Each structure stands twice: as structure tokens, then as C-alpha cells.
Amino acid sequence: QVQLVESGGGLVQAGGSLRLSCTASGRTVSSYDMGWFRQAPGKDREIVAVIFRGGSMTWYADSVKGRFTISRDNAKNTVYLQMGSLKPEDTGVYYCATRNIWTRDYDYWGQGTQVTVSS
């Protein structure tokens, strides 16, 4: 059974930094595309960053490019999202997810971690 557990959220002032962690069990993070998503109150969930399987290629939403960095520690089977220069509009629940190789759908999700950026 695949489980993803996020941690690292919290309250931070605008301009500050946070690092989110997503530790996986039942699936090797280096063998799958891993994504970070977020959902702000009253808004749809949006994809924030992806780290692709097998290598170090990454993708970022325009809204976070240059401020967020996604990375992976294979020994810890953990994916990180380093967030800097945070803005109030970055507030939301952040989720990590893993993408099914065959269907290309994100099929397993963590429970989410709250990030609140105060102005």
C-alpha cells in the first residue's frame, strides 16, 4: 500500500521560507514522477512543481518559478519543496502526489499540510 506523508507546513511572514517534506512508503520516489499541489480556500487545486522519475528534471508553475525548488532524497525516499520569498497568495493546503506510470494520473496523495503566509 502506498502512503505519502507531508510535513513542514506552518505560519510564516511574507518574504519568509518553509521547506515541505513528503515521505513515501510502498513506492520508490525516484521511480515515479512526484508532484506538489496546493489548494487555496475557495479555489481549485493547482499543480505547483514536479520532479520527474529517474533523473533530476523538474517543472514549475509560473507563479512559483524562481522561488520554489523541488528535490528528492532517494536514501530517505522523500521529496521536498523548498519555498522562498513567500507571498500571501501562496497560502493553502499543500499536497504531494505520485503519478502512475501507465495511466499518467496522480493516483496516490498525501493528507496535506497547511501553509499560511501573513502579510
For residue range 55-113, list pLDDT tens digits in order: 789 999 999 999 999 999 999 999 999 999 999 999 999 999 999 999 999 999 999 99
Question: What pLDDT is attached to residue 71?
Answer: 97
Average pLDDT over residues 26-37: 96
Residue 62: count of CB within 10 angstroms of its CB = 6
Alpha helices (H) along the chain: none
Q: How far apart are CA 105 and CA 90, in angstroms?
A: 24
**Confidence band for 54, pLDDT divided at 50, 70 and 90:** confident
Which tens digits make up the pLDDT trace of 2-15? 999 999 999 999 99
Q: How far apart are CA 47 and CA 94, in angstroms?
A: 10
Q: CA torsion angle for 107, 25, 46, 19 (degrees, to 10)?
A: -170
Q: In the chain, pLDDT over 90 holds for what percent of residues?
A: 97
H or E segment to which residue 48 belongs? strand 46-51
Question: What pLDDT is attached to residue 55?
Answer: 78
**In this structure, what C-alpha cell is assigned to residue 105?**
494520473
CA 52 to chain centre: 13
